[in-house]
Structure 1
Amino acid sequence: MFDVFTSPELTNLLHSLNTEINLFTEIFWVVIATVLSMIGGAIGGMILAGKDIGYKFAATIGSLFAPAGVIPALILGLLMLNVLSNL
């Protein structure tokens, strides 16, 4: 069980996620940012409009609209990092 956490493949993967910018790392970070923004949007939607339109509906709408701002910003940031790292 603990061999998985100490394997060289996992160590290389985690190292590449922090140091290299390629297609795999960009897709990975976009997925992570989308999931986290959906969670944050659901919480924000429940706080802002939970009493008015219902907590479940507010969480659904918040989780759908939150990635609309996060995904383009993340892609633009990763593209800028890629350009700056190649200078």
Structure 2
Amino acid sequence: MLEFIHDPVFRDFLHSLNTELNFKTELTWLIISLIFSMIGGAIGAMLLAGKEIGYKFAATIGSLFAPVGVIPAIILGLCMINLLSKY
């Protein structure tokens, strides 16, 4: 595991996540935000409808429907940041 952390290519990629926007970093941020929106959707659905339809089913439905509204906003935001970073 330490070899992976000290790999120069991996360290450069982690540094590029914070400093530049390209296709790899945009795709990585999209995946990270997708995971966070799925977790948030599952928690929100469990709080809203957990008693009525069951906590597991509510979490499943919430994690599937939460990214529907988030993904277009994230893609649009990343495109705008990429466009504005060129000026």
Return the TM-score normalized by structure 1: 0.91
> What CA distance in whole angstroms lies between the structure 2 residues aligned with 1:66 and 1:39?
9
* Unpaired stretches in structure 1, ≥5 consecutive residues: none
* Unpaired stretches in structure 2, ≥5 consecutive residues: none
Deviation at 1:7, TM superposition (A): 2.8
> What CA distance in whole angstroms lies between the structure 1 residues aligned with 2:7 and 2:34?
28
Deviation at 1:41, TM superposition (A): 0.6
- In the alignment, what sits opposite 1:57? 57
Return the TM-score normalized by structure 2: 0.91
SS in structure 2 of the partner of residue 21 of structure 1: coil
State how 1:5-84 maps to structure 2 within 5 Å.
Answer: 5-84=5-84
The letter of the residue matching 1:34 is L
> What CA distance in whole angstroms lies between the structure 1 residues aligned with 2:22 and 2:34?
18
Measured on the aligned residues, the alpha-carbon RMSD in Å equals 1.1
Deviation at 1:35, TM superposition (A): 1.1
Give the fraction of aligned pairs with identical amino acids, expressed as a percent.
63
SS in structure 1 of the partner of residue 84 of structure 2: helix
Deviation at 1:56, TM superposition (A): 1.1
SS in structure 2 of the partner of residue 49 of structure 1: helix
> What CA distance in whole angstroms lies between the structure 2 residues aligned with 1:61 and 1:7?
39
Aligned residues, how many? 87
